[in-house]
Structure 1
Amino acid sequence: MRFTHNIKSKYLFLFLLLLISFVHSSAIAGDATSFDPTSVAVEPKAISGVPIGGVIPWTSGTVPDGFLECNGQSTSGYADLAAIVGGTVPDLRGEFIRGWDHGKGVDRGRSIKSSQNDAMESHAHTTTITISGSVTIPYGQGEGGSFTLHDQTQNARNFNVPFSGTGSGVSTPAGSGTENRPRNVSMMYIIKAE
């Protein structure tokens, strides 16, 4: 009888320890209204979370393990990557990446991974030019012979002929660069290879 009583006491003691431990851990963990996310340590995910074929801008000139520079090199030795991009990685050196239209209608007729030459939308720079002044036509010796101009009173004299005019034309001032480009920051594009 005493042996049974000791076993029950031990089980009761263990139960109480578990209950106290649960209540204590619940009090520390808090609930949805008292949770403070600033006290949780946040660590960045490893680069291994990038899927094979994923392209990212890289802020170093050294390519990390498992990646290749996007410089048009062969995918030989990287079967999974080759199945996605083909025999070579894209050559993105000095290139801007444009989102694939995929039916939106902004950049029609393009297939994914296709290249596009530079272009400038057709436009004009119109300017209005106004001129005015006068020209004097002298009397006397003319080219190839002599002539005399007379006014209505038959007196020889110079004639002052005023003129004015307005016209329009196209004026495109020269730019200072060798290409059209937005402000930008240079980074290396790399692709997940394995």
Structure 2
Amino acid sequence: MADYYTLLTNAGIAYETACKAAGVPIKLAQISVGDGNGAVYNPDANAKALKREVWRGPLNALFQDEKNANWLMAEVTIPSDVGGWYVREAGLWTDTGILYAVVKYPESYKPVLATSGSGKEFYIRSIFETSNASIVTLLIDDTVVKATRAWVMDYLAKGTYSKAEIEAMIAKASALPVGSVIAFPVDKIPPGFFELDGSVKSAAAYPDLSSFLGSAFNKGDEGAGNFRLPESRGEFLRGWDHGRGVDPGRVIGSGQAQSVQKHDHAMWSGGSYGSTNPAGGGAAAAWVNGAVSDMRTGITGSDETRPRNLAVIWCIKAWSAPINQGSIDIAALALLVSQATEVKQGTAKVGTQPQVNAGVNDEVIVTPKKLRLGFAASLTANGYLMFPSWLGGLTIQWGSVTSSAAALSFPIAFATNCTYLGATVNVDANSGGGGTEYMTMGTVISNTQFKMRTGTVNGVPVRWLAVGY
């Protein structure tokens, strides 16, 4: 036996036998995976469950092998948002909850982003043999099943729609806004339109049209999440009066029964009208206006009053479909995606802060935020100017203190080192210092503190300047 395989369980075989006897299909609905309770093992046909199930979901696909009619392949994709466990076993389940087949699966870890730092979708294909593959069917929940990449590629390879067909559909699509109503003189409804036939549609499938129509034409039996289209078949469309007074009292979207404008008919009563009898004799008699109880005209015409017309299909724009607005010059676009330089138009990435600080990359763009990062200033009596690292990180500080033996603090700490500290005495004959000369001595203690002495005399005003980076 192969190292990894799919084994029909005894319960699965019994279920298959019963289905054959009853002439009903075998219905497979779900697949589950487990970690084997921490170890790889050889499946047992008597199994009715996995050793330790960690996830269960609907099957994506079930189909026959092209070369072996009795081989079936079941596929599932485990989503990226579940995991954090090993897969060592899998099981195929019927719609009645029977473990139909058990799979010995190569030990594989299924990560999940929340705990593993990475996540991925996990694809499993199980191949098993049955005596009559044609009676095995798949129950699919369309709301959760996801197509695998292999299935999509295979589906596209079959040419469901050719490139020419797709382009033709796009060319037919209209740029009219959703809710527009137009007439078509042939029985062909273009992509993006519905016939106004009073049918019920899903609001989830056609959200734009649902938002536009709302419940204006609902009858109350549409069901939750649905809306109804207006009915236009056999109807003339008439412009809403909207306050003009020609057709007053109407609500937009409302129907109107047929009617004939008020009028009267002339009817013969007895002899002739005027001086001559049309029948050739007798006195003229007056003609009758309005209804006369004992006189009727002959019936003519149709079952309705109508003008001359052309039968059309009234359609409503249901969703927005793109249209071909013209040709795109790919060669011209290619020039715009090349690297921009001082003399060539193109594209360039926004530089990272390390790239800006390094100042060596000439192919990226510097934004004001990155340009400003690292610059700071305090323009006060005791202040500083601090330049960004890409300008060397130069920091200049200044201030006024009174000389003493105590440690004093810089307005802001130097990032790396204070390379210069100088000072001048801030006294003269008018400020109490007389003509005395002082020798100033500045000492840097650390990147945050310094001392300022004036010989052996303390309490002398001093102006200082410090430079560092």
Correspondence for 2:304: 179
The 5-angstrom pairing of residues 5-84 of structure 1 reads 47-76=173-202, 77-84=205-212
CA distance in 2, matches of 1:109, 1:78: 32
* Aligned partner (choices 254, 257, 264) of residue 124 of structure 1: 264
CA distance in 2, matches of 1:179, 1:124: 18
CA distance in 1, matches of 2:239, 2:250: 11
Any stretches of 5+ residues in structure 1 without a counterpart?
Answer: 1-44, 133-162
> Match of 2:174, SS?
helix
**Is structure 2 residue 213 aligned with structure 1 residue 85?**
yes
**Is structure 2 residue 246 aligned with structure 1 residue 106?**
yes
* Aligned partner (choices 137, 145, 168) of residue 287 of structure 2: 168
Instruction: Give the number of equivalent residue pairs.
Output: 120
Are the equivalent residues in 1 in contact too, given 2:197–2:229 (CA < 8 A)? yes
Are the equivalent residues in 2 in contact too, given 1:57–1:190 (CA < 8 A)? yes
**Is structure 2 residue 315 aligned with structure 1 residue 190?**
yes
Cα offset for 1:75? 3.0
Are the equivalent residues in 2 in contact too, given 1:125–1:172 (CA < 8 A)? no
Cα offset for 1:104? 0.4
- Length-normalised TM-score, structure 1: 0.55
Cα offset for 1:52? 0.3
Cα offset for 1:82? 1.3
- Length-normalised TM-score, structure 2: 0.24
Counting strand residues as a fraction of each chain, which structure ranks higher? 2
Cα offset for 1:181? 0.8
Counting helix residues as a fraction of each chain, which structure ranks higher? 1
Q: Deviations over 1:140-170 (max 9, x none)?
A: xxxxxxxxxxxxxxxxxxxxxxx85624335
> Match of 2:212, SS?
helix
Q: 1:173 to 1:51 in 2, by over 3 A?
A: farther
> Match of 1:131, SS?
coil
Cα offset for 1:46? 5.9
Using CA pairs below 8 Å that are at least 6 residues apart, which structure has the higher relative contact order?
A: 1
Q: Deviations over 1:66-104 (max 9, x none)?
A: 111110012312111112223211110010000000010
CA distance in 2, matches of 1:116, 1:123: 20
CA distance in 1, matches of 2:173, 2:300: 42
> Match of 1:191, SS?
strand
> Match of 2:182, SS?
strand
The aligned amino acid for 1:181 is R
CA distance in 2, matches of 1:47, 1:167: 67
Correspondence for 1:151: none
Q: Deviations over 1:14-57 (max 9, x none)?
A: xxxxxxxxxxxxxxxxxxxxxxxxxxxxxxx9642211010100
The aligned amino acid for 2:187 is G
Are the equivalent residues in 1 in contact too, given 2:179–2:212 (CA < 8 A)? yes
CA distance in 1, matches of 2:173, 2:259: 36
Are the equivalent residues in 1 in contact too, given 2:195–2:314 (CA < 8 A)? yes
The aligned amino acid for 1:176 is G
Cα offset for 1:115? 0.5
Q: Root-mean-square deviation (CA), in Å?
A: 2.3
Q: Which one has the largest radius of gyration?
A: 2
Cα offset for 1:129? 3.5
Are the equivalent residues in 2 in contact too, given 1:75–1:81 (CA < 8 A)? no
Are the equivalent residues in 2 in contact too, given 1:55–1:191 (CA < 8 A)? yes
Residue identity (%): 38
Are the equivalent residues in 1 in contact too, given 2:189–2:195 (CA < 8 A)? yes
Q: Which moved more, 1:167-176 or 1:82-91?
A: 167-176
Q: Which moved more, 1:165-174 or 1:71-80?
A: 165-174
Any stretches of 5+ residues in structure 2 without a counterpart?
Answer: 1-170, 215-226, 273-281, 291-295, 320-469
